[in-house]
Structure 1
């Protein structure tokens, strides 16, 4: 048992010509400590290796995945400040882009702001955002913000360079360019929310934690989710058809069972997918229209929970891109649910990735934002037995999650 104190990582190797996997433990000195350990010590926790093993039908392909991080590492105070300065400047840009007069509209008990301006003899209205004190204060400074746009743009570019120097993982250039194009078209302004692994990557700045490439489970796929009802209520639409935007990046509509209802695009020069999703409030998970975005979306159960009260985040691409993502505590709890409802089973590679992302976020949130985490969990548990059963099933497969959330589940 003394050898356990040397173990720092559990590394998974996919074996060629075999569908099973072999787990090896690596010591902190890089020495092979064993090939069939019963336990692995990660940080101060001991894990049953058998619970981490799973079957992969990978054929002749070899893949390696780091399953657990050694510990949570923080970005420097300088990086933390730079990220939030970048985010604040991108918020300022929203107000600086107002062309006409901000107009308040009350709809269904909520307050929205629109930019009202003339184009010839026509009066146009462009959605700005939902009412908040922060937005109102910025709209009071429109002229000053417009006059200082060039300086802010240069400063944002400097902040992005600083964050890269501080080893922010950020996004790759291909993903950054797609998100930039979507932002320019108004996707995020109109309620589009980045979900999936791309959203997970963006918590690096919000939470001030350092990610490794293995923790983010690198993928170039981009998933955008939005409420159908919000898309209808906003009475606005993207400035350019998204099909045209995607075509500029060599994306083509993927075939669907419903002709004319495209919700997924595939890039012809790579395997990258762009998918649009929306919450399902019916028994079936069919395709639903998103009028504001001009696309259809695959509806999914439990997605309404994830999209509640989204937040804005900065993408470190060019001089920064403002996007919308779910709140980290909701993302983490939602991962507990989807990990148990994957079509290829709860022990599939995707389900394991779901649990790993949940483990990482929950460990951070339990330390930094325990009240937010508890509130998000209580909300999910209150939504019915099926929700509770899925969360409990995922916790059964993850000792770290049991340790972190056990008291909250009682």
Structure 2
């Protein structure tokens, strides 16, 4: 990992370090564009073909139904089942509290305004299953969709080599009472949910993280439907001072790095000694990881920033806008008000990102690539839309009417004025 001194960095260099652009972005754009157009025109046939081409699986059917999901779920080891059950309950508890009924507001006598939430009718959930199977993502997306009351939940996940899905994914499907899991991954899954095929229904909004192809596909279909956010390769930024534990920091950085070779694991530290000890700990821990080759490549593409103090460290963090921000310090409380841009924050030396990834209750589907400057992570609100209502009594129309008449006249919109005037005359 290359080490930079924050005070030596120009604004241009900071912007370069915070950029997640890759050299082959244009190539991925064109490939995804081709996949989308092929699925749009050829439907199921394209899905069978792309699955054979990309996943090396020749399917006879594009989905697994409820009875087979239940059969697959029965093979889950008891320890994993119990862990998923605990995670489910924590995630459900945290997200259920997000359902709020807003008060009706009388903006002036006789004029009442309010908002009511309605679930998005059809949502599509993309559950990654390439180099790692992620039942945790299924929980993170399925539970808030369930709480919101979405009528139709379409789930796509790549097939395993046997043409099935992992027992963990199947078990989560049974917990969420999902009728079908569609055996489609990558950009083609996004296309299927965006445009619809004979087998896979068109949805109103697509959710879920994925690789660069999935992220690019979500960006390209935004003129057709809504997406949760741009959620591509995962990333973590750790802010650490001399109260941190270098072994903990190393473990957190490697936990991020093992996601994929394009993941980023950034350390911003105020102690040169802490940086040196963390590098040694990374080298030691890396040797024991089953996914060490993947993690090593991600670490090689990541970097370390030396900052003189925590204020400088937070300045860089806000410029980077990390998906995950870990404050590896005993003195995290004064830093909380300084956080402007971050997807999810992990406070103190005993709060690893892994807790939020799996079971603390917060959602791990978060904005990446700097989009934390404008996007929030997935929540129950992501599956809802808010409709505004207003009601005027006779007194309310009398009170607000003259104001509307004047404003409509000022804008030269006589019909708008008349809609008020004709009512006032009738009264």
Do these two structures clear the TM 0.5 threshold for a shared fold by scoring above it? no
Write 1 or 2 for the structure with the bigger share of helix.
2
TM-score w.r.t. the length of structure 1 is: 0.26
TM-score w.r.t. the length of structure 2 is: 0.25
Write 1 or 2 for the structure with the bigger share of strand.
1
